[in-house]
């Protein structure tokens, strides 16, 4: 197997297109719904269930109004999970650049899905020659076994790199506008260049058009840009109360950030950062951790957790976690739980570290449980569910059973 891999790499080095669709893994992913395992946390136990196994580098999940689930796999597959089964990869997707961090990335469901049936995907789009990639967004109508009427509504052009630091999350804000988080394509200086889309948070209309009130409309800049100076944003979520977008961003070595990006502001990369270059020296071009005209991060981690997808928890199923912000951590193999007071972060707990799994995404499900993606090659890519422990229900049932038993005993004693 390893030998075959090396032969494949050698063949690709000789010129095969790296964005050719990869072969699907031999075993199809399956819905398993394992017995729940109790996980101790600072605020009591929760129940962890493996819902789906056999996925190949799952990157994002989204729920449809009927409760079924869409999951992307980074090698270029979109699957639908419903009625206890995982579909074959849906057709209709364009050529996708798959290499390293690049591939099929986020999935978002149209806020108007019941009427328009549209699904949005972010992905690494190959250049015409196939040697470079840029972040792009498509939308298509969800059919039974394919996306139909697919159109690319947004793309980074020119494309700069071989597919590192491509982001990307998609979040619909109020008014149906679409946020797209991106990376700097590992060409750090582009994050400060307003004529390029790399290293930017952009805000577009659902059809790809530019909202009139974007901050750089009418200026000598790309009008899609909302904020700039971003390194690689792989997480984003809308705050349920303030309705503002929060983003997570990978620092270099250290300095992962949370930001609440304001219109037109500069978030500093690579000029200001709390991290170091991977060589251990200062980031080239950086002046330190702060500078005039550049925004400090809302929150920063000195040691990089490797932040990925994130979600605010709003449900009733896990009341102890209501209002908390959850972030997947790739490097430290954890789910991070942040306690908030308004926008201020006042507490942090690291969960699931003992499982040693890269947490790629986290979403709240229609059943108000938290759903997580484990980022691993097939067959170890998984959907996990964190919900309330069934013990409470069992205890309740036991209590419920005990009561008539006692009544029966009392009655017997009375006789």
Residues forming contacts to Ca ion in the complex (CB under 5 A) are 267-268
341: Cβ–Cβ under 8 A, 6 or more apart, which residues? none
Rg, C-alpha atoms of the chain: 23
CA–CA distance from 126 to each of 78, 98, 313, 374 (Å)? 18, 9, 36, 26
| Residue (163 or 229) nearer to Ca ion, CB | 229
3-state secondary structure of 160: coil
Whole-number minimum distance, CB 229 to Ca ion, in Å?
A: 6
Whole-number minimum distance, CB 250 to Ca ion, in Å?
A: 11
Task: Say if residues 198 and 187 touch (Cβ distance below 8 Å).
Answer: yes
| Residue (156 or 273) nearer to Ca ion, CB | 273
Whole-number minimum distance, CB 292 to Ca ion, in Å?
A: 14
Whole-number minimum distance, CB 252 to Ca ion, in Å?
A: 11
Whole-number minimum distance, CB 314 to Ca ion, in Å?
A: 27
3-state secondary structure of 79: strand
3-state secondary structure of 46: strand
Query: How is 316-382 classified by DSSP, letter by letter?
Result: SSSGGGTT-EEEEETTTTEEEEEEEETTEEEEEEEESGGG---EEEEEE-TTS-EEEEE--STTSEE
Nearest alpha-carbon partner for 163 in 139, 135, 205: 135
Whole-number minimum distance, CB 209 to Ca ion, in Å?
A: 28
3-state secondary structure 163-222: CCCCCCCEEECHHHCEEEECECCCCHHHHHCCCCCCCEEEEECCCCCCCCCCCCCCCCCC
**Catalytic, out of 165, 250, 274, 299:** 165
| Residue (257 or 375) nearer to Ca ion, CB | 257
Task: Say if residues 135 and 183 touch (Cβ distance below 8 Å).
Answer: yes
| Residue (82 or 276) nearer to Ca ion, CB | 276
What region, left, alpha or beta, does residue 201 occupy, with left being phi > 0 and alpha being psi -120 to 50 degrees? Answer: beta
Cα–Cα distance, 89 to 212 (Å, whole number): 37
H or E stretch at 290: none
Is residue 165 part of the annotated active site? The answer reads yes
Cα–Cα distance, 384 to 268 (Å, whole number): 35
| Residue (279 or 290) nearer to Ca ion, CB | 290
Whole-number minimum distance, CB 370 to Ca ion, in Å?
A: 27
Which residues form the catalytic set? Answer: 165
């Amino acid at each position: 197997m390893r030998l075959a891999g090396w032969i494949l790499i050698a063949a690709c080095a000789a010129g095969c297109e790296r964005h050719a669709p990869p072969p699907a893994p031999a075993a199809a992913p399956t819905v398993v719904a394992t017995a729940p395992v109790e996980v101790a946390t600072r605020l009591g136990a929760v129940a962890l269930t493996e819902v789906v196994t056999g996925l190949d580098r799952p990157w994002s999940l989204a729920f449809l109004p009927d409760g079924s689930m869409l999951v992307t796999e980074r090698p270029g597959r979109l699957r639908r999970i419903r009625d206890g089964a995982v579909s074959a990869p849906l057709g209709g997707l364009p050529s996708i650049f798959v290499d390293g961090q690049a591939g099929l990335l986020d999935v978002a469901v149209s806020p108007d899905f019941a009427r328009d049936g549209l699904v949005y995907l972010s992905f690494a789009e190959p250049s015409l020659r196939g040697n470079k990639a840029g972040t792009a967004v498509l939308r298509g109508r969800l059919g039974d076994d394919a996306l139909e009427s697919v159109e690319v509504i947004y793309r980074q052009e020119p494309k700069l790199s071989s597919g590192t630091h491509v982001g990307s999350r998609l979040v619909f804000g109020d008014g149906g506008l679409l946020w797209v988080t991106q990376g700097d394509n590992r060409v750090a200086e582009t994050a400060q260049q307003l004529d390029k889309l790399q290293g930017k948070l952009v805000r577009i209309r659902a059809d790809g058009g530019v909202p009139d009130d974007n901050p750089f409309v009418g200026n000598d800049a790309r009008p899609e840009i909302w904020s700039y100076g971003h390194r690689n944003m792989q997480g984003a979520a809308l705050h349920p109360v303030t309705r503002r977008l929060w983003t997570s961003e990978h620092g270099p070595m250290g300095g992962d950030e949370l930001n609440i990006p304001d219109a037109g502001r500069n978030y500093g990369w690579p000029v200001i950062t709390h991290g170091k270059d991977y060589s251990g020296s200062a980031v080239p071009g950086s002046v330190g951790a702060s500078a005039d005209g550049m925004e400090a991060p809302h929150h920063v981690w000195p040691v990089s957790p490797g932040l990925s997808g994130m979600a605010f928890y709003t449900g009733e199923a896990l009341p102890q976690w209501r209002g908390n912000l959850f972030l997947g951590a790739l490097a430290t193999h954890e789910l991070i739980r942040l306690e908030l007071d308004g926008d201020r972060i006042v507490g942090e707990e690291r969960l699931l570290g003992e499982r040693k799994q890269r947490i790629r995404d986290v979403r709240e499900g229609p059943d108000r449980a938290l759903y997580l993606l484990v980022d691993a090659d097939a067959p170890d890519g998984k959907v996990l569910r964190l919900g309330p422990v069934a013990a409470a229900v069992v205890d309740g049932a036991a209590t419920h059973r005990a009561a008539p038993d006692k009544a029966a005993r009392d009655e017997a004693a009375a006789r």
